Chain A
Amino acid sequence: MTVGGWLVMIVSVGTVTGLFAWCIYKVMTEKKIEDHHIHGLDIDTPDQPHR
């Protein structure tokens, strides 16, 4: 493996791993998450009446 190969691998893997870690950190620490209710109505989905 050449120096260039090491460089490409480290930059590529480092970039996407860093981006993924940053996103997870942001999602987990976002204050909004505490009172974030994506959940609209807690229902049993099977056989739900159609709107």
Chain B
Amino acid sequence: MAITESWNSRLGVILAVSGSAVGLGNFLRFPGQVAQYGGGAFMLAYFISFLIIGLPICWAEWTMGRSGGQHGFNSSPGILQAIIKHPAGKYLGVIGVLVPLIIYLYYVYIEAWCLGYSLNFIRGSMEFSSIDESTNFWATFIGAGADGSALGFGISEVGGFLIFCFALNFFLIYRGLSKGIEFFCTYAMPALIVIAVVILIRVLTLGAPDDSRPDRNIINGLGYLWNPTKVVLQERPAADAPWETVTEIVSPVALATREAEAAASSNLQVIEIGIFEQMRRPGLWLAAAGQIFFSLSVGFGVIITYASYLKKSDDIVLSGLSATSANEFCEVSLGGLITIPAAYAFIGIAGVAGMGTFDLGFKVLPMVFSNMPFGNLFGFLFFFLLFLAAVTSSLSMLQPVIAFLEESLGINRKASVSILGLITAIGSLFVVYFSADVKALDTLDFWIGTFMLYILATIQIIIFGWIIGIDEGFRQAHQGASMKIPNIYRVLMKYVTPAFLLIIISFFVMENMLGWTPWGGESEVSSYVTDLVGGEGKEPNTVARMSVGLIAIVFIFLTIITASSSRFKNFLNREGAQ
């Protein structure tokens, strides 16, 4: 019998999968999205997306992964080829190796930011009186000012932290699935939740930190996040010009002031935007579905590999639901209540409106923590929490590539870890060196960490619903299951989920690449496209082009290995002979 790795316990695999999913997106991206797209409206679209995209793809990935594992494969190319019994499967599966490998190259960089921030907080060197100060610290720390400036090794520079994170990740991955990944997640995930609860209690008891601004309080911060009806101030430059939104209004004091201003000017108005009016915006659905996607780690190639280490009789329906619900708990019940209310209470709407993930996490929040009682402690805890979440996610990105190298090259773990260490060191050095405006990171994140996730998930759900077949897929999913997948998911997983994903991809290409917004608004080709080919009055960006070139080189490298692997060829030959 072949010697293979396996999980040590059912709870361990659930914690590992949820650890893979829980990351910066839960604590930074999600609250920003909820606030931007209108609390109640966004949450409704978010839960619908969870039910018709998140859960179906999770169950499909768990099922296909375990099935591939029964054929002796743990890598995405091996698993997909074994399932569809055609060489095309292994080439489609290459995407499941490419995605986690490329994402790791920049994710470990962000992991190092989190560790660096936490240690700088605990040593008391994070005292900011304005966002400009915290922005300057961030720019210096990560080397955003110029290429090559991130390679310093002082306490206020990212280099040393990056090396530590690299060493930690590879030490754990070298220890293996059970003694490395599962061991770490078994302690890190409960610790992460406890830390998040402690910070949540601190934030919810802040009240109004500035006595001179009583309207800036936690309740209004929660209102900004969760109110289903948005009240906004609109302005127009002339009587015949269109209205443009100036700001959202949350507090009763601000509402009274703005209404008085609007009453005195014919070019100002205060209006309410209801929940259903907000939900008519396709952009809101795109954002909600996208958040579900990134949050659950579907389309990453991770779940399929993790599930391949399960036995045929192991439950995957409840385990999949448990891992998913753990992620949702961290996102909605913890992340959704911490960051935005805290930032609102200290800075007001101007500090949170339109903030991206990095802006909110590494510019606004450090300023918030440094002005909070016991801020150094809570700042340390918050960024250490993000660091733990990042490590559990990083490990999950390495394992699919380790499995691929072992299978395709026929090497042991020591050799595969060494090769992967070399590849990722070179790739991460590229990302870290070209740190100016985080251009390399941003480009890789858009093309692989965003666009390619949609592609891989769509491939997986189509294979599950149409190639395996929904009846056979459900039969496999229910082997050893302690609960049943509701029958409505037969229809959802075969028709609705693939159709919904294809629509999302179409809108994503239209809006986020070509800049065409069918529902109105300005039309401008995305900078991610003009960075590569020029246009819109811009020259192509060399770093962006090199980043896409890096993706192409890695993809070709993985494809060549896949094509020449005797292990993959022999499987199909054996299947054909039978």
- Interface residues in chain A, defined as those with a beta carbon under 8 Å from any beta carbon in chain B: 1-2, 4-9, 12-13, 15-17, 19-20, 22-24, 26-28, 30, 32-33, 36-41, 43-51
| CB-based contact B10/A51 at 8 Å | no
B413 is contacted by which of A8, A16, A46 (Cβ under 8 Å)?
A46
| CB-based contact B229/A2 at 8 Å | yes
Contacts of B319 in A (CB 8 A): 27
Please name 6 further chain A to chain B contacts, defined as beta carbons within 8 Å, in addition to the given A20-B333, A23-B325, sorted by A numbering. A6-B226, A7-B228, A12-B332, A20-B329, A32-B315, A36-B314
Can you give 28 A-B contacts (C-beta < 8 A)?
A1-B227, A2-B229, A5-B222, A8-B39, A12-B47, A13-B332, A16-B328, A16-B331, A16-B332, A17-B333, A20-B326, A23-B318, A26-B318, A27-B10, A30-B315, A32-B315, A38-B10, A38-B314, A40-B4, A46-B175, A46-B413, A47-B414, A48-B5, A48-B412, A49-B412, A50-B406, A51-B2, A51-B3
Give Cα A33–Cα B180 distance, bound, in whole angstroms.
Answer: 22
Residue of B at shortest CB range from A51?
A: B2
Give Cα A32–Cα B229 distance, bound, in whole angstroms.
Answer: 47
A7, A13, A44, A50: residue with the most chain B Cβ atoms closer than 10 Å: A50
Give Cα A45–Cα B245 distance, bound, in whole angstroms.
Answer: 58
Contacts of B328 in A (CB 8 A): 16, 19-20
| CB-based contact A13/B336 at 8 Å | yes
Give Cα A9–Cα B221 distance, bound, in whole angstroms.
Answer: 12
| CB-based contact A48/B3 at 8 Å | yes
| CB-based contact B333/A43 at 8 Å | no
Give 7 nearest A-B pairs by CB, closest first.
Answer: A45-B176, A1-B223, A51-B2, A5-B227, A40-B6, A23-B322, A20-B329
CB distance from B564 to the nearest CB of A (A): 17
B220 on interface, CB distance cutoff 8 Å: yes
Give Cα A4–Cα B8 distance, bound, in whole angstroms.
Answer: 45
| CB-based contact B3/A41 at 8 Å | yes
Give Cα A8–Cα B180 distance, bound, in whole angstroms.
Answer: 40
CB distance from B337 to the nearest CB of A (A): 7
| CB-based contact B311/A38 at 8 Å | yes
Interface mask (B387-411 → A, CB under 8 Å = 1, otherwise 0): 0000000000000000000100011
Contacts of B177 in A (CB 8 A): 45
Residue of A at shortest CB range from B328?
A: A16
**With A12-B336, A32-B315, A45-B5 as contacts: A5 and B228 at CB distance below 8 Å:** yes
| CB-based contact A30/B482 at 8 Å | yes
A1 is contacted by which of B174, B220, B321, B482 (Cβ under 8 Å)?
B220
Residue of B at shortest CB range from A4?
A: B228
A39 is contacted by which of B6, B225, B318, B332 (Cβ under 8 Å)?
B6
Contacts of B40 in A (CB 8 A): 4-5, 8
| CB-based contact B413/A48 at 8 Å | yes
Contacts of A46 in B (CB 8 A): 174-176, 413-414
Residue of A at shortest CB range from B337?
A: A13
Contacts of A37 in B (CB 8 A): 311
Residue of B at shortest CB range from A9?
A: B226
**With A8-B39, A38-B7 as contacts: A2 and B410 at CB distance below 8 Å:** no
| CB-based contact B228/A36 at 8 Å | no
B3 is contacted by which of A20, A23, A33, A43 (Cβ under 8 Å)?
A43
Residue of A at shortest CB range from B409?
A: A50
Give Cα A8–Cα B47 distance, bound, in whole angstroms.
Answer: 12
**With A1-B227, A27-B14 as contacts: A8 and B43 at CB distance below 8 Å:** yes
Contacts of A7 in B (CB 8 A): 228
CB distance from A41 to the nearest CB of B (A): 6
| CB-based contact A45/B337 at 8 Å | no
Give Cα A15–Cα B116 distance, bound, in whole angstroms.
Answer: 35
B263 on interface, CB distance cutoff 8 Å: no
Contacts of B325 in A (CB 8 A): 16, 19-20, 22-23
**With A27-B318, A40-B6, A46-B414 as contacts: A8 and B226 at CB distance below 8 Å:** yes
Residue of A at shortest CB range from B217?
A: A1
| CB-based contact A8/B228 at 8 Å | yes
A47 is contacted by which of B7, B315, B412, B483 (Cβ under 8 Å)?
B412
Give Cα A40–Cα B9 distance, bound, in whole angstroms.
Answer: 10
Contacts of A2 in B (CB 8 A): 223, 227-229
**With A13-B332, A30-B318 as contacts: A23 and B9 at CB distance below 8 Å:** no
CB distance from B483 to the nearest CB of A (A): 7
CB distance from B179 to the nearest CB of A (A): 6
Give Cα A9–Cα B227 distance, bound, in whole angstroms.
Answer: 8
| CB-based contact A40/B223 at 8 Å | no
| CB-based contact A36/B10 at 8 Å | yes
B262 on interface, CB distance cutoff 8 Å: no
Interface mask (B296-327 → A, CB under 8 Å = 1, otherwise 0): 00000000000000110011001101100110
